[in-house]
Amino acid sequence: MRINMLYKGILVAATLCVAPAAFSAPPDGGLPDTRSAVSGTGTFGSDASNLLHEIQVDARSVKNDADQLQALARQPFVVDWHSDAGQLISIRDQVNHMDELLSNLRAHESEVLPWQQETIDAIEPTLARLTNTTQTAIVSLNGDEEQAQIYYSNMFGLARDMYDQARHIDKTIVNLQKNANAPHED
């Protein structure tokens, strides 16, 4: 039991480390063509589209992981905590990656297109809530037995919140890119 708790503490403590950004996948063509957009400089527009696409991919992965975490939370005494920790590690890594991408976008915000700036502004508060929700889940799982009981009693709600927040980020990007691609009357 003591070894299990020590292992649990080490594993969950490792979840608090920030994972390095390792993605560089190009968009699948779903984002607006930044070459034809009329705006300020737009010099970072193509790169910003790629970064927003990566955030969208990560948000969809978080949705899937949070959905699996909700399923695990329905059976807290049947499923081992290792399964929850694995899901939380995955979510933590994706959320950290989204935070890094958003920071990169913020560093170049004077160079992005108007629809991209609107997207950045719209997803930032939701990503902050997702980061806090994920941190709350990790800290709860990392606690003592009393904390673990609190974790299990709250996990379904935390997982649902993570799912909803990731879904909101995904939908916001989709909706704003559709608006940017829609023909506008002048």
Lowest-confidence segment of 17-26, 57-66, 71-80, 123-132 by average pLDDT: 17-26
Strands (E), the chain: none
- Does residue 34 have a pLDDT over 60? no
What residue segments make up the domains of the chain, in order of their start? 2-14+45-181
pLDDT above 90: percentage of residues in the chain:
44
Bigger pLDDT: 34 vs 125: 125
Whether 1 contacts 81, CB under 8 Å: no
Question: Does the structural domain 2-14+45-181 have CATH classification 2.90.10.10?
Answer: no
The answer to pTM > 0.75 is no
Bigger pLDDT: 182 vs 49: 49
Lowest-confidence segment of 14-23, 48-57, 111-120 by average pLDDT: 14-23
Biggest CA–CA distance in the chain, Å, is 70
Task: Identify the band that residue 182 occupies on the pLDDT scale cut at 50, 70 and 90.
Answer: confident
Whether 102 contacts 52, CB under 8 Å: no
The Cα angle at residue 62 between residues 88 and 94, in degrees rounded to 5: 70
d(CA 33, CA 37): 7
